[in-house]
Amino acid sequence: MLHSAHLKPAAPAALDWPRRLRELAQTARHPRLQAFYAAGMAADLRGDRPLAELPLVALDLETTGLDPVRDGIVSVALVPMAGGIIRTSQARQWVVRPRLPFGDASMALHGITHTQIEEAPDLEAVLDELLPALAGRVVVAHCVAIERQFLARALLSRLGEGIAFPAIDTMELEARWRLAQRLSWRERLLGRRAPPISIRLAASRQRHRLPRYGLHHAATDALACAELLQAQLAQHGGAQVALRELWC
């Protein structure tokens, strides 16, 4: 088990989410986002609270590419987590029609057909379900920057403003904790670097001896991320770790 000093984030000044949520609740103009931030305030997502006390939700987006300006969202999946339990019975998934072209290569990767895309609604049509399902929870994602950027861009084009939310990034945790494990304090003091390892979702799960899933499917990836966080916590302090040690 690592000492909590090893878990300190790189930029603690950016992690005062209760204050940030209050500011966003005051400045948001769209009623949907006002309600979203108000729910976050009501949930009392303080950084000193143990993770076991807090509602989480694993989030995964499948997109037509990696550029939030040129690419769009094609599916969204959520898997709620609470008290160390993954609530698979409450999982949700939406297939949505991107406003930008959706090529055959993306369809092959995600397993989504032309018919599904043609019949799917625009993301704006599912926001009344999606935002309440995210509200008041800490998002869990593998490389959360992708989810943040795509959702912010998508809402900016639909509601006139983006979105922000507290999150735990399992990819960042894997990088941080693996580096601490692989270098002694003396090596870190000397500025030595550990040899590179893959921190992609599949490789991270394999190190934690989790089952192999077929990835690039939103519902499967969200579940895979939720399971990875549980395995990471089991190895590095459990659900009693304070939220401030994990969120970003």
Residues 6+ apart with CB under 8 A from 28: 34, 36, 37, 161
Find all residues with CB under 8 Å of 134, minimum gap 6, and list them. Answer: 36, 57, 59, 78, 165
**Strand, coil or helix: 66:** coil
Domain count, the chain: 1
**Alpha helices in 111-192, H assignment, sequence order:** 114-119, 127-134, 144-159, 170-182, 185-189
**d(Cα 20, Cα 72) in Å, to the nearest integer?**
27
Q: What is the pLDDT of residue 113?
A: 73
The dihedral formed by the CA atoms of 223, 142, 38 and 244, expressed in degrees to the nearest 10 = 110
CATH code of residue 191: 3.30.420.10
The distance in angstroms from the start CA to the end CA of the chain is: 22
pLDDT over 80 at 160, yes or no = yes
DSSP letter at 175? Answer: H
In a domain, 197, yes or no: yes
Better-scored residue on pLDDT, 84 or 85? 85
Question: Which residues lie closer than 8 Å to 56 by C-beta, 6 or more apart?
Answer: 80, 81, 82, 137, 138, 139, 140, 168, 226, 229
Whether residue 4 lies inside any domain: the answer is no
Res 36 pLDDT > 90: yes
Kindly state whether residue 115 falls inside one of the protein's structural domains: yes
Q: What is the pLDDT of residues 122-150, one digit of tens each?
A: 999 999 999 999 999 999 999 999 999 99
Q: Is residue 6 part of a domain?
A: no
pTM value?
Answer: 0.86
In the block, residue with structure tokens 């550990």? 194
3-class SS of residue 185: helix
Cα dist. 86→50, 55, 122, 136, 206 in Å? Answer: 17, 11, 28, 17, 19
Domain assignment present for 65: yes
pLDDT of residue 3: 30
Q: What is the DSSP letter of 148?
A: H
Give the pLDDT score at 198: 86
Provide the 10 A C-beta neighbour count for residue 181. Answer: 13
Q: Is 133 exposed, middle or buried (0-12, 13-18, 19+ CB in 10 A)?
A: middle
Interval 54-70 mean pLDDT:
93
Position 4 pLDDT exceeds 60: no
* Parent domain of 67: 14-245
Q: Residue 2: inside a domain, yes or no? A: no
* 156 C-beta neighbours (distance < 10 Å), count: 13
Determine, yes or no, domain membership for 9: no
Domain contains 1: no
Mean pLDDT of 174-202: 71
Return phi, psi of residue 101, to 5°: -55, 140
